[in-house]
Structure 1
Amino acid sequence: MSFNKLFQFLRNLNKNNHKEWMDEHRKQYHEVRDFYIKWLNEMDIKLAAVDPDYSPTTGKQAINRINNNLLFHPDKPIYKDHFGAGLDKEKGKGDFYIHIGINGSFVAGGFYKPKKQILDSIRAAIDYNGNEFKKILREKSFKETFGGLMEEEKLKTAPKGYSQDHEHIDLLRNKSFAVMHELTQKEIMEDDFQEKLVDIYKKMLPFRNYLNHAITV
């Protein structure tokens, strides 16, 4: 089994996105899923070796369901076009997310549109010591790897309790505090893919540590 077969399965599923096809190809699905779980188990060991605060996460714990949640998103197809998984999982903290899909692959971390309590805690940390956070965001290897924060949605004005002329207002207006690094299918199928992910994980770690500390203090 390989990522090449995983991508092929997802392409076939995307063309036949209905329960009848999945039932007919359930064995193939489990073979692909088992391959990815085994691969995640290997990644789990590698990441734990470079981060003393890493939370061990088995492949079965990490992998997301391939079914879309039609209760909240009834217009979506039954099945996703990707396999998603979150490593370094610990309740209340941001994980290291790996997204392998036919319409784009990436790794990401931080908090994407978090709940109010988490968002308030992050903003409080930035209010207290935003310079430290900006130093992390401006670090050369970090910028080269992630570019910057994902800024899909921001407040038009200052959040409640903060002034418009706050020195860190550019950060405080964010509704998400997450970064991502896009991956190509060619990269994913190379022999050193796991080593590349370990390197990306290490470059993201100061960012994730800052946020995780912010919501636990």
Structure 2
Amino acid sequence: MKSIINPETLNFLSTLEINNNRDWFNENKNLYLKAKENVENVVNEIISGISEFDKSVERLEAKNCIFRIYKDTRFSKDKTPYKTNIGASLVEKGPKTLNSAGYYVHIEPGKSFLAGGVYMTETKNLKAIREKISSESEDFLKIINKKSFKDDLELRGDRLVKVPQSFGKEDPMGDYLKFKQFTVFHALSDEDVLDENFVKNTIKIFKEIYPFNEFLNEAIEK
């Protein structure tokens, strides 16, 4: 039997947003555990599907990929104690790695999305990615200009104002070299998340992301 995201999971997250305090959460922790288990089951099926074309994730388990719901509020003006989403990072070396491109599932009422690429990485890796984009521009453009890629995904990330100093100002790939993060994004409606084919549709999007991730990881692993 295939797994689906249950409406109760989105309902829990919506209710948590209204009652984001420790007393309510502790009284309703069973609802959180059910929502977390639901997402874990779905993510395990997604991992299984991805592993058919990307072997790097085949040893991952959803329970190790889902982020804690508890927030670190030490340096935040927002002192609410809990995240109002359930997110899973599917990366070869685990969700906390900064050194590999991977896949991300974000479940949050009205704000769900799928993503891929590199969100944060070491400076040397960022430089390596930019160098590969500059020197292998044709391969990079072939990936991001593919019709199905452009139809389903948006390249996102913080950007520099100018092309990095180590590259020529007139580098034809200058607009891409300004990126400080190399991520692609696919928005999801609540209807998309609750669709009985959510797992299948997610795997399809991640298969589209795979060549992008592969390009980035080839640069990082050199």
Residue 180 of structure 1: SS of its match in structure 2? strand
How far did 1:55 drift? Answer: 4.1
Q: Residues 142 and 2 of structure 1: is their aligned pair in 2 closer, same or farther, counting only changes over 3 Å?
A: closer
Looking at structure 1, the residues matched to 91 and 177 of structure 2 have their Cα atoms a distance apart, in angstroms, of 26
Q: How far, CA to CA, are the matches of 1:38 and 1:194 in structure 2?
A: 10
The AA in structure 2 aligned to 1:86 is: S
Which position in structure 1 is the counterpart of 2:149?
A: 142
Alignment of 1:63-142 (within 5 A): 63-90=66-93, 91=97, 92-142=99-149
Q: Contact conserved, 1:86 with 1:96, CA < 8 A, in 2?
A: yes
Deviation at 1:53, TM superposition (A): 4.0
SS at match of 1:49: coil
Superposition deviation, residue 21 in structure 1: 0.7
1:215 is matched with 220
Counterpart amino acid of 2:180?
K
Higher relative contact order (CA 8 A, sep 6+): 2
Cα distance in 1 for partners of 2:202, 2:135 equals 32
Runs of 4 or more above 6 Å deviation? none
- Counterpart residue identity of residue 23, structure 1: N
Q: Cα gap change, 1:145/1:76 in structure 2, threshold over 3 Å: closer, same or farther?
A: farther
Distance 2:134 2:61 in 1: 36
| 1:156 and 2:165 matched | no
Q: How much has 1:165 moved relative to structure 2?
A: 0.6
State the SS of the aligned residue for 1:72.
coil
The equivalent position to 1:9 in structure 2, one of 5, 12, 22, is: 12
| 1:113 Cα deviation after fit | 4.3
| CA distance, structure 1, for counterparts of residue 29 and residue 214 of structure 2 | 39
In structure 2, give the amino acid aligned to 1:25. N
**Shift, 1:188, TM fit:** 1.3
- Report if the CA contact (8 A) 1:70-1:76 is conserved: yes
**Unaligned ranges ≥5, structure 1:** none
Contact 1:81 1:103 in 2 (8 A): no
Aligned mates of 2:12, 2:61 — CA distance in 1: 23
Q: CA deviation at 1:157?
A: 1.4
User: Offset of 1:209 from its aligned partner?
Assistant: 0.4
Partner of 1:26: 29
The aligned residue for residue 60 of structure 1 is 63
Deviation of residue 155 (structure 1)?
1.3
**Where does structure 2 lack aligned partners over 5 or more consecutive residues?**
none
8 A Cα contact 2:117 2:216, kept in partner: yes
Taking structure 1 as the reference length, the TM-score comes to 0.92
Question: Identity over aligned residues, as a percent?
Answer: 29
Q: CA deviation at 1:74?
A: 4.2
- Cα deviations by residue, 1:120-148 (Å, 9 ceiling, x for unpaired): 1111211221221111111111000113x
Paired amino acid for 1:181: H
Describe the superposition over 1:86-109 as per-residue Cα deviations: whole angstroms up to 9, x where unpaired: 124324212210000024000001
Q: Give the CA deviation at 1:76.
A: 4.7
